[in-house]
Structure 1
Amino acid sequence: MPGDHDMGAYPEPPRQTPAVDKQTALPNPELILSKLFYYSVDLPVTTFRDAIDNIRSRNKLVYYHQKFRRVPDLTDCQEGDYVCYYEAEMQWRRDYKVDQEIVKVIQERLKACQQREGNSYQQNCAKEIQQFNEVTKNYLSRYGDLGAYANGRKCLMKQKERMMAAQAQSA
């Protein structure tokens, strides 16, 4: 074990802090300005912000669970009712995004099962495969071939064409 440290290389710190030598009896202007700023600007702003944050924390809105009321479809809108057209279009877009997310979730479940089961996924993931096939079939029957500029009116026309084709085949 080495001996004590070299006192010349590492001197001991002074035991007491030296007192500040005041050159004048006037108060420090920096201290006066900082106190003035604190009491005139910082304290009122901070108090106001804390009060607002307190009110907001009691009335916290949850945006990721926003629920929209259902509006009439395009078929139920009166002719020339542009507000109804707009609301129906926005509802169709929300439904479209929800259906896309449903397909993504089912696809992720299928991929996770395939990853987990390895080569025997055909047998062990039959339920997930069947569910994925049903969801994609329904998604494509509703939204397939609408193109990049899909909207509620195009989707409605596609649905009408599908219904007319089904009636023509059954007749």
Structure 2
Amino acid sequence: MPEAEPRNIVEKFFATVGNMLETPVVWVREKIVEPNQKSYPWYHQKYRRVPTIDECYTDDDVCIFEANAQYKRDKQVESEILHILRERFENCTLYEAPDHLEKCTHLWREYEDAATNWFIKYGDLGAYHNAKSAYMKQKHRMIWERRHGPVGSGVKKDTDQAPAEN
């Protein structure tokens, strides 16, 4: 919508003064600030991915430190995602008060899946854990699943015993 033409001398004066103040500011913003801004669609800083703990040599302290820092950042991000999913479910139950069992079940399932995955990765590690302890937990879980089937399924593969002959 184009600006209306000033009706009298006072409006022309204020429009001129306003343009004198606004024009340099707009020029600096468009020519200097915006071309030099980092533009990324995230609300948090996006760090460069470093090698994980399984890719580090045992005597490479810098690599191990970076892997631990990345592990802690990933845990914080995943914990915040879990917190947001929990808040969404709670807000849905408050908003959809009598019918929340039907209308909010998809949010509950998403939250439960995310909480299960978070616990698989970070749960039962204790207060002072690092990337190596999480990696060892993952390794032990894979060995368990290879020997006994998926955790929590109650299925145990009987590969060691020969089939009974009748």
Calculate the TM-score normalised by the size of structure 2: 0.64
- Among 123, 137, 150, the alignment partner of 2:129 is 150
Count of residues in Structure 1 that have an aligned counterpart in Structure 2: 116
Task: Report the Cα distance in structure 2 between the residues aligned to 1:134 and 1:64, rounded to whole angstroms.
Answer: 24
**3-state SS of the aligned residue for 1:140?**
helix
Q: Which residue of 1 aligns with 2:75?
A: 96
Task: Report the Cα distance in structure 2 between the residues aligned to 1:64 and 1:89, rounded to whole angstroms.
Answer: 23
| Aligned-residue identity in percent | 36
Q: Which residue of 1 aligns with 2:53?
A: 74
Higher relative contact order (CA 8 A, sep 6+): 1
Q: Which has the larger radius of gyration?
A: 1
Task: Report the Cα distance in structure 1 between the residues aligned to 2:103 and 2:70, rounded to whole angstroms.
Answer: 38
Task: Report the Cα distance in structure 2 between the residues aligned to 1:64 and 1:107, rounded to whole angstroms.
Answer: 20
Letter of the aligned partner of 1:98 in structure 2? V
Q: Which residue of 2 aligns with 1:140?
A: 119
CA RMSD of aligned residues (A): 2.1
Unpaired runs of 5+ in structure 2?
A: 1-31, 150-158, 160-166
- Among 98, 102, 112, the alignment partner of 1:123 is 102
Unpaired runs of 5+ in structure 1?
A: 1-56
**3-state SS of the aligned residue for 2:98?**
helix
Calculate the TM-score normalised by the size of structure 1: 0.62
Q: Which residue of 2 aligns with 1:39?
A: none
- Name whichever of 66-75 and 106-115 sits farther off: 66-75
**3-state SS of the aligned residue for 1:70?**
coil
